[in-house]
Each structure stands twice: as structure tokens, then as C-alpha cells.
Amino acid sequence: MDFKVILSPASIESLASITAWIAKDNASAAECIGNELLDRIEMLQKFPQAGSIYSGNKKWRKLVSNPYVIVYRVKPGQQTVEVLAFRHSAREGYTG
């Protein structure tokens, strides 16, 4: 059975921030990158453990989509994956 992928309010905000920053220079690139990140998390439906353990918190995982990192946590009992944040890899780590 597939897991349900849920975007937290913070992850929606971080994705919006990333795309707004890119859109200042190139609106079509911002849309493309935003869609690529959303497409990337779709794989978590079938493979929730695909990412590696996040060093900032052992209960979280990260999925890399260069140059971005998608921080998430798996809730096996609920069959859900909660996306916590989208971060640029050059920025400071996510602490929740």
C-alpha cells in the first residue's frame, strides 16, 4: 500500500520562498524547479525510506534534488510521509 505524502505548512512556505526567489530573475525557471521538487517527493509514496537519515534529527530523513534538500519524516503507523521543508543545500540546516 502506498504512503500518503503530506506537505506541512512550513514546507509549503519554504517551497514558495524558493520559487519566489528564483522568479525574481526567471519566472519560468521558478515554475520548473517548483514542479521538479514536487515531482521528486512523489517517489516517497512507494519508497518512503528512499532518503538518508538527516543529521540534524535522527527521526527525519532527507532526499536530495540538487541543489535542494527535502526534509521529511515517515509515519509508518499512519502510512504517511510528512514533508517538513525544502532547503537549498548551501543554506543552514533545518531545525524545525
Domains for the chain: give ranges and CATH numbers. Answer: 4-88 (3.30.2310.20)
pLDDT at residue 92 in the model:
56
Residue 94 has pLDDT above 60, yes or no: no
Cell match 534534488: residue? 65
What is the reported pTM?
A: 0.89
Residue 52 phi, psi (nearest 5): -90, 165
pLDDT at residue 83 in the model:
98
- Assign 68 to helix, strand or coil: strand
Average pLDDT taken over every residue of the chain:
91
C-alpha cell at 67: 541543489
